[in-house]
Structure 1
Amino acid sequence: MNTISPLAFVHPNAKLGDNNIIGPFCFIDDNTILGDNNNLQNSVTINFGARIGSNNEIFPGASISTKPQDLKFKGEETTCQVGDNNSIRENVTISRGTASKGMTIVGNNNLLMENMHIAHDCLVGNNCIIGNSTKFAGEVTIDDNAIISAAVLTHQFCHIGSLVMIQGGCRFSQDIPPYIIAGKEPTRYAGVNLVGLRRYGFDNELISLIHEAYRLLYNKGVLAEGIEEIKRNLTITPEIQYIIDFVSGSKRGIIR
């Protein structure tokens, strides 16, 4: 049974699961779906096209599936998909997709801190921590287990790798490859994310291998030559293959 404040508005066509709490002054629009056991505190807005899973806590002022801030958007029917077990803090805004991809996706077990923004057609993985006032422009991809500090500005189409740590206040227009610390001004490679990798269970041998991969990669002026050095000199574990695939597939280039 859902608990809905008499001061909330829930559109009659909205589809709600079970045991949701809908606080006062919440607005749930047409063409929306909520799973089970979500807690929407007061003044949460769930807009047209939202698809929200279960066990999410959404704090006051958050607005999910907002109209894209993209002049190319012509009102096409798109979605914003949010998974399970997310904590979406105060005044977070997540736009729905455009014709480009048709959907914005936020995975599971993420902490989205106060006042951060996820623009249209972004893809956020699982177990990410994203700091206060960080902003992602359109079609940014964030892989699993990324930690992105406060007030980070990310250019559209950028790709952020898994298990990175990005320093607060960074701004960048190139991709952030996996397992590293990104920081300073301008944003650049600042070493391997030792603490994060150890917390995630990487042993010293694997961490040393990742460190050597980046040494070989960044010692070459041409990234393709660095990738060939990695292939010639290192054991190609799944983690090293991920680095190779990430760098080879980068459309914007990686930070140096």
Structure 2
Amino acid sequence: MGIHPTAYVHTDADVHPSAEIGPHVVIDGPVRIGAGCRIGPSAVILGHTEIGSGTSIHSHAVLGDIPQDRKYDGEVTYCRIGSGCIIREGATIHRACLPGEATIVGNRCYLMTNSHVAHDCVLEDEVILVSGALLGGHVQVGRQAIISGNTGIHQFVRIGEMAMIGAVAMIGQDIPPFAMTNRRGEIAGLNSIGLMRAGTPSADRQELKVLFRMIYRSGMSLRRAVELANDLATTDTGRRFVDFFDAGSLRGIRKSNHSGTSDQRKAVA
């Protein structure tokens, strides 16, 4: 299809010849669009936005608009989207607020309808945002994490890799890798099904259970439990889990409210 005659493409934009630009699309500024991208009707792409090859952007998505931050004063900032992503209708991704910085969406991410990625967020590869998921500024999301529908993530929160965040939740603190939360944002167990589907070795999964129980079900302080877990973690997966707690946090790491109900204990198994 090439570029539809009703689309507006700025003279500074770099659109690969194999990209398809639909009707009434607006591409305004030094935008770069990679090979095989498909931009749906009435999508808007602004500023210093870069889109990797094979990414599909559906109608009325808005990418690279200015950040919703009063400190922003027109500085040059970036929005970088990887290859093979799917960005559905009405999704929004804002460019960074800090000069020279970028909002980053990794490869093969799936942003469903009306999801929002605020300024300076970093999403690693294969993240899924379900419809209505909202990320505040500077949120970090690890690879293969899933943020369920209508869930809000507070600014500066970290979501660990392969974490699964329950629907309609309000997340105000960091969620460790491989964990699941319920709709109240409480740690409910390990994402055991996700770990198995990802081909995580059985030994790694068994060690994760031990580490998880020590940190979230032992009744010890978080600091003491993490110290002991550091001595026990030997697998690559276990080390990534424990290292998350040592990496530093601006918002704090979500703790368990209690030692665990029978339902929560089943979730760990």
Same fold, TM exceeding 0.5? yes
State the SS of the aligned residue for 1:64. strand
Distance (Å, rounded) in 1 between the aligned partners of 2:151 and 2:193: 21
Report the counterpart of residue 245 of structure 1 in structure 2.
Answer: 243
Q: 8 Å contact 1:224–1:248 — kept in the other structure?
A: no
Q: 8 Å contact 2:43–2:58 — kept in the other structure?
A: yes
Report the counterpart of residue 207 of structure 1 in structure 2.
Answer: 205
Distance (Å, rounded) in 1 between the aligned partners of 2:207 and 2:100: 36
What do the CA deviations read for 1:192-251 (whole angstroms, capped 9, x no partner)? 11100000012333212101101111224422211121133x242221221222111241
Distance (Å, rounded) in 2 between the aligned partners of 1:221 and 1:235: 17
Q: Please show how residues 37-52 of structure 1 align to structure 2 within 5 Å.
A: 37-52=36-51
Distance (Å, rounded) in 2 between the aligned partners of 1:58 and 1:175: 29
Distance (Å, rounded) in 1 between the aligned partners of 2:111 and 2:82: 13
Distance (Å, rounded) in 2 between the aligned partners of 1:235 and 1:9: 55
Alignment of 1:12 onto 2:11: yes
Q: 8 Å contact 1:58–1:89 — kept in the other structure?
A: yes
Distance (Å, rounded) in 2 between the aligned partners of 1:236 and 1:28: 49
CA RMSD of aligned residues (A): 1.3
Alignment of 1:192 onto 2:186: no
Q: TM-score, normalised by structure 1?
A: 0.95
Report the counterpart of residue 161 of structure 2 in structure 1.
Answer: 162
What is the aligned residue count? 253
Q: CA shift at 1:174, angstroms? A: 0.3
Report the counterpart of residue 222 of structure 1 in structure 2.
Answer: 221
Unaligned runs of 5+ in 2: 256-269
Q: 8 Å contact 2:170–2:183 — kept in the other structure?
A: no
Q: CA shift at 1:129, angstroms? A: 1.2
State the SS of the aligned residue for 1:239. helix
State the SS of the aligned residue for 2:93. strand
Q: Please show how residues 57-96 of structure 1 align to structure 2 within 5 Å.
A: 57-96=56-95
Inter-CA distance 210–179: structure 2 relative to 1 (3 Å threshold): same
Point out the more displaced range, 115-124 or 210-219: 210-219
Distance (Å, rounded) in 2 between the aligned partners of 1:221 and 1:67: 45
Q: 8 Å contact 2:41–2:59 — kept in the other structure?
A: yes
Distance (Å, rounded) in 2 between the aligned partners of 1:86 and 1:202: 24
State the SS of the aligned residue for 1:3. coil
Identity %: 33
Report the counterpart of residue 121 of structure 2 in structure 1.
Answer: 122
State the SS of the aligned residue for 2:243. helix
State the SS of the aligned residue for 2:59. coil
User: Segments of 4+ in structure 1 off by > 3 A?
Assistant: none
Q: CA shift at 1:100, angstroms? A: 6.3
Distance (Å, rounded) in 1 between the aligned partners of 2:242 and 2:99: 27
Q: CA shift at 1:101, angstroms? A: 6.5
Q: TM-score, normalised by structure 2?
A: 0.91
Distance (Å, rounded) in 2 between the aligned partners of 1:120 and 1:198: 33
